[in-house]
């Protein structure tokens, strides 16, 4: 590259697919330079900028510092352009910049589809920077791009063929994907899947894959054919990709009904799990025949040393999961989208229920079936944590028996989220006062109006370590004033679910923020005037309506 080429930088190189334009409040490059430590090596700069992948505006600023920073920041800006939905102009800039990097024969092929535009070839080859690909967001973006064309209605018939043509070439010319999300969506007009297994340089593209998310929708008309494509892809992936750290496999409709995949598809997924050498996160629902559960748990147990996060739903053979959980010595987070259903007699007499779990965070979102069995299931899990649990998230109604287990076996909780009746809320207060809590979410299921005495009793039980609080207590603005005045700690985040809140409530929260100087975020249900909100923002940096 000559000096002239270095100075005459093409205007599109600084356009992130996420920003598509400089942020309005961006300082000029000369000003940014003043804040750059000197000297910094390229390796040091790269290490810093790698932590800014989710902050395209900041990366954009870094790209304007000088040529070295630009050389490092631009690939990161184009790392995962389809990570979010792109609309209108942003989608147009993205695709036209990409296609400007295409060779002439590919451009001619698009011209045959009546896709014409003039843009000079950029200095950077953006195709090789692609590391993340989301099929659903890609389809959305290309449709948005077509909608910006004057002859959009005439081109609608070529949209479907064009998206496969462009997607295949983009992926085939990248230097290897790290993130892949395959989403089969029934709401998409043409929901056929991209046939990734047929790409000629398959091993080169996917051998360094680190994160894989597969979502299929059995409500799609052609879902069986699509699942076959996914199965073949998973089989080939098992051969060449052994370092995937995050895998998610789920049916979009698993909350409504349980779907079962044919055995050879399940086996392809199990094999993909089994061959990984450093799987950290696994998210699945029971897509297999329950009688084949042992095959899944065998695959899961192969990751016992590396697995740190397990999210699982609709498990019907919970007693088979227990021995696998006890073997996962590094498991930190256990997440049940639905609390497992199991045979009570089998669960009570299994020897694994007396073993220990290493988990520090337990989350359970939904209960279906017999509440008694589910309370027993959760009680056994909590008992098995042997007082190691640090975070407990249970947005389901807690009954007295389970509450007793929590109070007895969870003395070290830092984060706690519970839904309780008013009597149980009062019962748990002495326990809460002993915890080293940083975050607390308490929801009163009865939604009874709190008296001043009750408000003071609740607030005074909160430990001084508490920083983040979420409540739905029904109280007046005066009650809220008493409540905040009796809290021992200095809250940094406050979330209040109370639809009757008005300006008087916001005045109380603003006063608390002004006095404490600690509150950084306030989320609310209710309606406040713009004048009161403007006044509150002077003292509270972030205010958001739920």
- List the CATH number of the domain containing 544: 3.80.10.10
Helix locations, 185-330, DSSP H: 202-206, 223-240, 263-274, 293-301, 318-327
Question: What is the value of pTM for the model shown?
Answer: 0.84
528 and 438, same domain (yes or no):
yes
- Same domain flag for 442 and 537: yes
Of 296, 293, 217, 286, nearest to 251 by C-alpha is 217
532 occurs within a structural domain:
yes
Q: Cα(220)–Cα(217) distance, rounded to whole angstroms?
A: 6
CA distance 382 to 115: 60
Whether 378 and 436 share a structural domain: no
pLDDT of residue 213: 96
The model's pLDDT over 325-350, given as tens digits with 9 standing for 90+, comes to: 999 999 999 998 876 666 655 555 55
Considering its fold, how many domains does the chain have in total?
A: 3
Token code pair at residue 105: 């024969």
Kindly write down the DSSP assignment for every residue of 77-131, as one continuous string: HTS-TTSS---HHHHHHHHHHHHHTS-HHHHHHHHHTT-----PPPSS-GGGG--
Instruction: State the pLDDT confidence band at 462, using cuts at 50, 70 and 90.
Output: very high
- From the CB of residue 278, how many other CB atoms can be counted at a distance below 10 Å? 13
Residues 420-437 pLDDT 10s: 999 999 999 999 999 999
pLDDT at 31: 42
The residue from 384, 413, 442 where one domain ends is 413
Helices then strands, counting H and E runs in the chain, come out as 22, 15
Residues 443 and 370 in one domain: no
Q: Which tokens sit at 348?
A: 């009570």
Q: Which residue has the higher pLDDT, 49 or 186?
A: 49
Q: Cβ(395)–Cβ(443) under 8 Å?
A: yes
Do residue 440 and residue 363 come from a single domain? Answer: no
Same domain, 350 and 407: yes
* CA distances, 249 to each of 172, 269, 450 (Å): 24, 8, 44
Are 319 and 368 within one domain?
A: yes
For residue 112, tell me if it sits in a domain: no
Distance CA 158, CA 52 (A): 37
Model pLDDT, residue 65: 74
The pLDDT confidence band at residue 33, using thresholds 50, 70 and 90, is very low
Looking at the structure, do residues 439 and 545 belong to the same domain, yes or no? yes
Q: Is 312 left (phi over 0), alpha (psi -120 to 50) or beta?
A: beta
Residue 255 lies in a domain: no
Q: Does residue 434 share a domain with residue 544? A: yes
Residue 94, in any domain of the structure: no
Task: Please state which of the ranges 70-74, 165-169, 457-461, 479-483 shows the lowest mean pLDDT.
Answer: 70-74
State the residue range of the domain holding 461: 429-546
| Burial of 429 (C-beta count, 10 Å sphere; 0-12/13-18/19+) | middle
In a domain, 62, yes or no: yes
Of the listed ranges 1-15, 232-246, 271-285, 489-503, the least confidently predicted one is 1-15
Domain finish residue from 413, 444, 469: 413
Do 486 and 397 share a structural domain? no
Confirm whether 543 is domain-assigned: yes
Q: Which pLDDT band holds residue 1 (cuts at 50, 70, 90)? A: very low
- What's the chain's average pLDDT? 84
3-state secondary structure of 150: coil
């Amino acid at each position: 590259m000559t000096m002239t080429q270095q100075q005459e930088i093409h205007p599109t190189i600084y356009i992130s697919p996420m920003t598509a334009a400089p942020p309005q409040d961006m300082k000029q490059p000369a000003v940014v330079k003043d804040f750059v430590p000197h000297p910094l090596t390229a390796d040091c700069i790269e290490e810093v900028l790698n932590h800014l992948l989710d902050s395209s505006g900041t990366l954009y600023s870094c790209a304007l510092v000088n040529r070295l920073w630009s050389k490092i920041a631009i690939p990161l800006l184009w790392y995962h352009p389809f990570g979010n939905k792109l609309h209108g102009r942003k989608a147009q800039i993205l695709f036209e910049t990409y296609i400007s990097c295409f060779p002439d024969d590919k451009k001619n092929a698009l011209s045959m589809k009546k896709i014409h535009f003039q843009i000079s070839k950029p200095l950077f080859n953006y195709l090789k920077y692609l590391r993340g690909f989301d099929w659903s967001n890609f389809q959305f973006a290309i449709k948005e791009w077509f909608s910006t064309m004057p002859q959009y209605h005439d081109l609608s018939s070529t949209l479907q063929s064009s998206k496969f043509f462009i997607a295949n070439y983009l992926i085939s010319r990248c230097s290897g994907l790290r993130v892949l999300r395959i989403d089969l969506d029934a709401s998409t007009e043409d929901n056929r899947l991209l046939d990734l297994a047929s790409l000629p340089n398959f091993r080169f593209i996917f051998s360094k894959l680190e994160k894989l998310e597969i979502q299929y929708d059995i409500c799609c008309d052609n879902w069986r054919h699509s699942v076959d494509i996914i199965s073949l892809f998973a089989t080939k992936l098992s051969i060449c990709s052994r370092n995937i750290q995050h895998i998610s496999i789920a049916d979009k409709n698993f909350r409504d009904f349980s779907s079962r995949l044919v055995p050879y598809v399940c086996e392809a997924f199990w094999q993909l799990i089994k061959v990984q050498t450093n799987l950290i996160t696994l998210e699945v629902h029971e897509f297999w025949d329950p009688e084949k559960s042992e095959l899944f748990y065998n695959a899961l147990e192969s990751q016992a040393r590396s697995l740190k996060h397990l999210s699982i739903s609709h498990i019907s053979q919970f007693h088979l999961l227990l021995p696998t959980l006890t073997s996962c010595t590094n498991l930190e987070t256990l997440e049940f989208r639905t609390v497992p259903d199991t045979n009570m007699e089998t669960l009570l007499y299994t020897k694994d229920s007396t073993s220990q779990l290493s988990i520090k965070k337990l989350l359970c979102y939904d209960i279906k079936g017999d509440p008694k069995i589910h309370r027993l299931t959760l009680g056994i899990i909590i008992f098995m944590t042997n007082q190691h649990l640090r975070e407990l998230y249970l947005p389901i109604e807690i009954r007295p028996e389970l509450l007793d287990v929590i109070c007895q076996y969870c003395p070290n909780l830092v984060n706690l989220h519970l839904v309780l009746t008013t009597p149980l809320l009062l019962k748990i207060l002495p326990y809460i006062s002993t915890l080293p809590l940083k975050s607390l979410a308490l929801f009163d299921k009865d939604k009874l109006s709190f008296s001043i005495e009750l408000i003071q009793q609740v607030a005074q039980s909160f430990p001084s370590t508490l920083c983040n609080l979420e409540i739905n207590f029904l109280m007046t603005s005066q009650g809220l004033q008493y409540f905040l005045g009796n809290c021992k700690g200095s809250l940094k985040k406050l979330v209040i679910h109370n639809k009757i809140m008005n300006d008087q409530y916001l005045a109380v929260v603003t006063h608390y923020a002004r006095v404490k100087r600690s509150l950084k975020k306030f989320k609310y249900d209710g309606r406040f005037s713009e004048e009161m909100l403007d006044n509150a923002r002077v003292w509270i940096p972030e205010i958001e309506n739920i």
